[in-house]
Amino acid sequence: MEKINFILFIAAVLLVPVSASSQPPLYQKCLLCHGRPGFKKMMPGGKVLELFVNKTELEHSIHSKLHCTDCHADVMEIPHSKTPGKVNCFRCHYKDNPNNAKPANEFFHSIHGRLLEKGDPKAPGCQDCHGGHNVQKVDSPLSTVNHQNVAFTCGKCHKQQYDNYIESIHGTALLDRHIQSAPTCTTCHGKHLILKPDNPEASIYPLNVLNVCSKCHENKELIKKYNIPGGRISTYRESFHGIADEFGSVRAANCASCHRAHFILPQSDPRSSINPKNLAKTCGKCHPNANVNFTKGKIHVNYKSKSTGILYYIGMFFEILTLSTLTLLFIHILLDLFRRYKAGELSKNHRHGE
């Protein structure tokens, strides 16, 4: 047996230069069983475990050049006698890997990673998002974590958020109109470093929400290209909510408090939280007894813009009044000083004359 293995090993080494680019030899050996469609096993409890591995899928994955046992490392002999355990991606993509430490390091810091380490059965591992045999580079349209596909992947667990997102302006822009600049889950939540909203490090922590939204909503190019309403971020920053947020109040309303996090819709949509019909309810979350008065006037007010009408003119009036008061007071003081100086000179001369 050992001899056969040795011969196989030599053969493998010799064959590698010829066939490695298409398929490693061990690959074929496994596919003798796992390449048969319908290869499955009945588990105790009646669950059926699909054991078929799609060869084409494997050949097109980013790991096409690896051997099966590179990942299924607990398989010591073929055919294997024991049921192999779950694949551990961290064997290669380990923490502090000098080539690319970021994904694993971030993952173990994230809520998913922490729950996984705690042994939460619902916590996702790498394969739950990236796929197993079909793992692809993120920019491949086939990748489960591609910009276009990742929402569906997250939605496998986060169903309600997914349902809201696909109805939202962001979801319809990306999924129906295929606008690649439109955000998906990872745009706001991050990729590997996903944290809970009550964690101050999270990108969606109340005080960080403005930064997340401003990446696009303060981007002049995007605003122009897609005709997004401008000045949203700057007006928020000047508002009471914005100033309180700037100085660290988590109670103050941030973007998502009014616009919602996933079910974001344009004002014109009757389902939108900022539709005039729903505004009293939205503001009422913090302002008790909010009524129709909240709809009489703009929310994102920039009184330096003529479109705000009376606010613009009153603001202007005060600016002019302030500037002119300042100027007149200065002139008055200067004249007074000047005359005192003159009078002083005169009295000196007088004394000299005497």
Partner 1 sequence: MNNRVQRLSLNQRIQHIVLLTSMIILLLTGLVLKFHNNVFSIWLIKREGGVWVRGLIHRTFAIVLILLAVYHIVWVTFTDEGHRELMAITPGRRDFSDFFQKLAYNLGLSDNLPRFEKYDYLQKFQYWGVVAGTIVMILTGLILWFVNQSMAVLPKWIIDLTLIIHGWDGVLIFIVLFLFHMYNVHLNPEVFPMSKTWLDGKISIERLKQDHLLEYERLISEKKDGKN
What are the residues binding partner 1 (CB under 8 A)? 243-244, 246-249, 287-291, 293-299, 301, 303, 308, 310-311, 314-315, 318-319, 321-322, 325-326, 329-330, 333, 335-340, 342
Which two structure tokens, joined as six digits, stand for 105? Answer: 């390091």
Which two structure tokens, joined as six digits, stand for 312? Answer: 């613009």
Instruction: Pick between residue 157 and residue 207 the one whose CB is nearest to partner 1.
Output: 207
Instruction: Pick between residue 78 and residue 320 the one whose CB is nearest to partner 1.
Output: 320
Q: How far is the CB of 281 from partner 1 (least distance, A)?
A: 14
- For CA atoms 38, 43, 48, 50, the dihedral sign is negative
Instruction: Pick between residue 17 and residue 288 the one whose CB is nearest to partner 1.
Output: 288
Instruction: Pick between residue 98 and residue 247 the one whose CB is nearest to partner 1.
Output: 247
SS3 assignment, position 118: helix
- Residue 270 φ/ψ, nearest 5 degrees: -65, -20
Ordered DSSP codes for 219-278 = -HHHHHHTT---SHHHHHHHSHHHHHHHTT-SSS--HHHHH-SS----TTSTT-TTSHHH
Instruction: Pick between residue 90 and residue 312 the one whose CB is nearest to partner 1.
Output: 312
Which two structure tokens, joined as six digits, stand for 151? Answer: 């929402």
Contact 262, 165 (CB under 8 A): yes
Half-sphere exposure at residue 116, Cβ-oriented, CA atoms within 13 angstroms: 16
Q: Is 30 exposed, middle or buried (0-12, 13-18, 19+ CB in 10 A)?
A: buried
Q: How far is the CB of 299 from partner 1 (least distance, A)?
A: 7
Q: How far is the CB of 340 from partner 1 (least distance, A)?
A: 6
Residue with tokens 């971030």: 106
Bridge partners for 48 per DSSP = 42
Instruction: Pick between residue 85 and residue 297 the one whose CB is nearest to partner 1.
Output: 297
Ordered DSSP codes for 139-151 = TSTT-TTSTTTHH
Q: How far is the CB of 331 from partner 1 (least distance, A)?
A: 10
Q: How far is the CB of 220 from partner 1 (least distance, A)?
A: 20
SS3 assignment, position 42: strand
Instruction: Pick between residue 9 and residue 317 the one whose CB is nearest to partner 1.
Output: 317
How many Cβ atoms from other residues are within 10 Å of residue 265's Cβ? 21
Q: How far is the CB of 238 from partner 1 (least distance, A)?
A: 9
Q: How far is the CB of 294 from partner 1 (least distance, A)?
A: 6
Q: How far is the CB of 307 from partner 1 (least distance, A)?
A: 12
Instruction: Pick between residue 12 and residue 290 the one whose CB is nearest to partner 1.
Output: 290
How many Cβ atoms from other residues are within 10 Å of residue 302's Cβ? 17
SS3 assignment, position 48: strand
Q: How far is the CB of 247 from partner 1 (least distance, A)?
A: 4
What is the DSSP-derived secondary structure letter of residue 50?
E
Instruction: Pick between residue 77 and residue 336 the one whose CB is nearest to partner 1.
Output: 336
